[in-house]
Amino acid sequence: MNHNQLIEAIEDTGFEAVLISSGEDRSNIHLKVDGVLTHSSMAMIETSLQALLGVVNVEINLVVHRISITCKPDQTGLRIFIQVIESVGSRRFKATIFPEGGREPHKQDEIK
């Protein structure tokens, strides 16, 4: 049964139903990773993030040290991502929110 059918069934019983979230909400989080980064270390970070519940997609940009994560915000979030990144590789990485006006300002407009 999808959410529209559920709302209809509730309304058929005489109650009002309002959909607050369909569970399809997604957030895009961009993190900057500092430390000695190689393709293999970024692959380890990517694999660790993809294993988290609620992570839909992980994209790595090794050139600007950015990790872009698409996730379901009701299942996971920023603090968990930072903890995972900083725990990979004997704690040699530091993760922060990717700075606004970074090397791709058009992405910042898209996020807004």
Please name every residue paired with 66 in a beta bridge, in sequence order, or none if there are none. 32, 61
Is residue 70 within 8 Å of 26, Cβ to Cβ?
yes
**Predicted pLDDT of residue 37:** 77
**Predicted pLDDT of residue 110:** 61
The pTM for the full model equals: 0.66
Class level of CATH domain 27-111: alpha beta
93-109 residue pLDDT tens:
999 998 865 445 555 55
Higher pLDDT, 2 or 61: 61
Burial zone of 85 (CB within 10 Å; 0-12 exposed, 13-18 middle, 19+ buried): buried
DSSP3 helix / strand / coil % (the chain, rounded to 5):
35, 20, 45
- Concatenated DSSP letters of 47-83: HHHHTSTTEEEEEEETTTTEEEEEE-TTT--HHHHHH
Segment 1-23 shows an average pLDDT of 72
**Predicted pLDDT of residue 51:** 95
**CA–CA separation, 65 vs 33, rounded Å?**
5
24-80 residue pLDDT tens:
678 889 999 998 778 888 899 999 999 999 999 999 998 899 999 999 888 888 899
**Predicted pLDDT of residue 47:** 94
**Predicted pLDDT of residue 50:** 95
